[in-house]
Structure 1
Amino acid sequence: MNDEDQQRQWSEVQLNDPELIIYLAGIDDLVRLNDEAKRHLWGAKWSSTEALRRQVEGGAMCVICPVFRNGGSVDEPESFRCFVWFIEKPEGRGRVSLLDVGTATLAGLRRASSPDRLTRIVRALMDGFELARID
């Protein structure tokens, strides 16, 4: 079997998984992540940088959490399908959507590791984020 015939298996990130990490990203990070998803033709992404900038509040911090390890050819970079929580403009409402992010790229983002920051993230999520469609 050739390398191009080998497939990486899709899997869910479990609660006890060491890769279950909460990351923080600004708008410029999201643009970079979205550009990577477009380059690799991954499915979960914004249609354009302009659409991303129209939907996501620029000054707010976004929260990213891997949910699934994407399957696919072993020749392709490893990636995660992630929840992305963000503030939508102009309404200022909390929203959540999906974005495919390369494993190496994800590891380069800032981690939300302090108890205070994690508590604030949980509170924001409990206060109600709505599922958003990425345009």
Structure 2
Amino acid sequence: MEPETTIRYSTVSSQDDDHLVKLMKLDDLIAAHEIARTRRWGATWTTVDALLAEVDPASPKFLLPALRNAAGDTQVESLRCHLWYRPRSSTYGRATIIDVELAQFRALPTLSPAKTTTALELLVATFPLTAID
């Protein structure tokens, strides 16, 4: 019987060097997805085709880390990130989570604080509000 594997993680706080909003292009998102699938990380699309069918290729994709994790491969650091994007089928934005290799995350372009504020205001404005009953 194999030993039980413990999934280790820690939160990314606002004081951390990696607490940054990053900008992804579609190619970056596909690369992150392929790494996550290869390493059997859980937070990703089922296939590249599913990703391409859902994500608008022309719209910006914003990435913000939430957790540092070592799920499935303790030799490679990764971040579980919030990903905001526009789907092909809607004018409203959508949010999901995706696991991104730390080295890839750090190589992505960082939004300046002013652009981060503007981007987040736009994201909030495009999400429809719903009542919680």
The structure 1 segments of at least 4 consecutive aligned residues displaced by more than 6 Å after TM superposition are: none
Q: Which residue of 114, 117, 120 corresponds with 1:119? A: 117
Query: Which secondary structure does the structure 1 equivalent of 2:42 belong to?
Result: coil
- Structure 2 CA distance for partners of 1:74 and 1:84, relative to 1, 3 Å: closer
The total of aligned residue pairs comes to 125
My pick for the range that moved more, 67-76 or 11-20, is 67-76
Is the 1:82–1:101 Cα contact (8 Å) retained in structure 2? yes
1:73-112 pair list within 5 angstroms: 75-112=74-111
Q: 1:4-52 CA distances to partner (integer Å, 9 max, x unpaired)?
A: xx97831011122221011000111110110010010000000011100
Between structures 1 and 2, the one with greater strand share: 1
**1:35 matched residue in structure 2:** 34
Tell me the TM-score normalized by structure 2. 0.84
The equivalent residue for 2:70 is 71
Give me the CA root mean square deviation: 2.2
TM superposition shift of 1:82: 0.3
Q: Which amino acid aligns with 2:85?
A: F
Contact 1:86 1:94 in 2 (8 A): yes
Query: Unaligned 5+ residue runs, structure 1?
Result: 1-5, 131-135
Q: Deviations over 1:38-89 (max 9, x none)?
A: 0100000000111001110010110001100013477420000000000011
Mapped to 2, the partners of 1:75 and 1:15 lie a distance apart of 24
How many percent identity over aligned positions?
27
Indicate the SS of the match to 1:83: strand
Q: Which amino acid is the alignment partner of residue 22 of structure 2?
A: Y
